[in-house]
Structure 1
Amino acid sequence: MTNVLILGASGQIARHVISFLHDHPSIRTTLFLRDAGKLGDLDISGMRVIEGDVADRAALAEAMAGQDIVYANLAGPVDALARTIVEVMEETGVKRLIFITTLGIYDEVPGAFGAWNNAMIGEDIPPYRRAADLIEGSGLDYTIVRPAWLTDADEVSYETTQKGEAFKGTEVSRRSVAAFVVSVLENPTLASRGSVGVDKPGTEGDKPAFY
């Protein structure tokens, strides 16, 4: 049995992960979020729910007790939250981390799309880069995930790139990113100490099709 803690469990990608995990009885899931009411009608049967703030070190440490993998899907001051997560994981002896960031943190998005992406979210990129630097500089067994622009398409279709490679497509479904996360939960050696770009094949262009 693998114990998985999901931080930011009401997030849109996390909700898909939660749905996928019902098909994986070997994974025991704990959901950590500030307001359990935000889970709505999502099927969380058999899952433990803890209300708390990731910035609350004591609450986070309590939730991490006995966990094998932490999956963080957060908004807000992601660099400060990443520091807290890393420090609490090191204190509690939990080693495996999956952390969602964004594309562009390594200036890896080429051409016109890269310029458009920087114009659209350039102010948001530095905190994600600082979060990635913190995680990569730690002793944790991490996977950093860098999704393309997200859609709500009901599909699983994705390809990956590694740190140091140029990013490819412009968009990807949240469901696809969730499927990648679940693949790492199923096989924790996958993308170990890696930073992985995730996009939908065939979506190369100057910007996502929905813009």
Structure 2
Amino acid sequence: MTNVLILGAHGKIARLATQQLLEKPVHLTLFLRDANRLKVTDKNKETIIEGDATSAADLDLAMQDIDVVYANLSGHNIVEEAKAVVASMDRCGVKRLIWISTLGIYDEVPGEFGQWNHKMLDGGYLETYATAAEVIEDSDLGYTIIRPAWLTDNDEIDYEVTHKGDPFKGTEVSRESIAAVVTDHVLNPDKDVRYSIGVNKPHTDGPKPSWY
């Protein structure tokens, strides 16, 4: 059974991935700041740990016997979190990391949509997420960085993938789809190792997401 640590386990994508992964032969350690925000649905397959993703002690405790780390972290301190996660994984001998980032960190979004994306995300967000990705890429971990398009809550799994160096495709994708990508990489740990992948819903090209 694969032991998976989910950092930021209360996030929307993380909760969807948890639902998908509970149907698979895995054990989930759900790590979040406030343990009261989650409830165990299968005590044989889930453990909840309360902690801070910038705390070496909290992370090291959560990393014990873990095979795969899935980081669903966010916020102004994402660079600090990235550094702490990499350091803890190094100390604890955990090698496989799935890291959620965002589109645009390599200035890879072309055309009018790329200009719109910069207008929406420049000024701190793209810059910090790009720096956090650099921390991951500069490590010796077996990482996969996932760069979603703008996210929807549509109940669908429909996506395509681009790689670092390719122009980003599409403008949007469902959180359910990103959770499916995470699940796929947890179950296939040799997939896309040391790659950064963009994920979008096919045929959603345009100047901005459909709801704007």
Alpha-carbon shift at residue 172 of structure 1 (Å): 0.2
Q: Give the Cα–Cα distance (whole angstroms) in 2 for the partners of residues 56 and 204 of structure 1.
A: 40
Displacement of 1:56: 1.2
Report matched runs for 1:1-211 at 5 Å: 1-24=1-24, 26-39=25-38, 43=41, 45=43, 46-76=45-75, 77-123=77-123, 124-211=125-212
Residue aligned with 1:58, SS: helix
* SS of corresponding position for 1:131: helix
Shift of 1:22: 1.6
Letter in 2 for 1:16: L
- Secondary structure at 1:48 match in 2: strand
Q: Which amino acid aligns with 1:22?
A: L
Give the alignment's TM-score, normalised by structure 1. Answer: 0.97
**In 2, Cα distance between the equivalents of 1:65 and 1:207?**
43
Structure 1's consecutive aligned runs of 4 or more residues displaced over 4 angstroms after TM superposition are none
Paired amino acid for 2:132: A
Name the SS for the 2:178 alignment partner. helix
Q: C-alpha separation between the residues in 2 aligned to 1:88 and 1:23?
A: 28
Any gaps of 5 or more consecutive residues in structure 1?
A: none
Q: Distance in 2 between matches of 1:22 and 1:144?
A: 22
Q: What amino acid does structure 2 have at the position aligned with 1:118?
A: H
Identity among equivalent pairs (%): 53
Q: Structure 2: which amino acid aligns with 1:59?
A: D
Q: Distance in 2 between matches of 1:179 and 1:208?
A: 21
Q: CA deviation at 1:55?
A: 1.1
What does the per-residue CA deviation read over 1:66-121, in whole Å, with 9 as the maximum and x for residues that have no partner?
Answer: 10110000111111100000011001100000000100000000000000000001
Letter in 2 for 1:103: L
- SS in structure 1 opposite 2:184? helix
Superposition deviation, residue 43 in structure 1 = 3.5
Q: CA deviation at 1:44?
A: 5.0
Contact 1:158 1:198 in 2 (8 A): yes
The number of equivalent residue pairs is 209
Cα distance in 2 for residues equivalent to 1:134 and 1:51: 24
Letter in 1 for 2:155: D
User: Can you give the 5+ residue segments of structure 2 that lack an aligned partner in the other structure?
Assistant: none
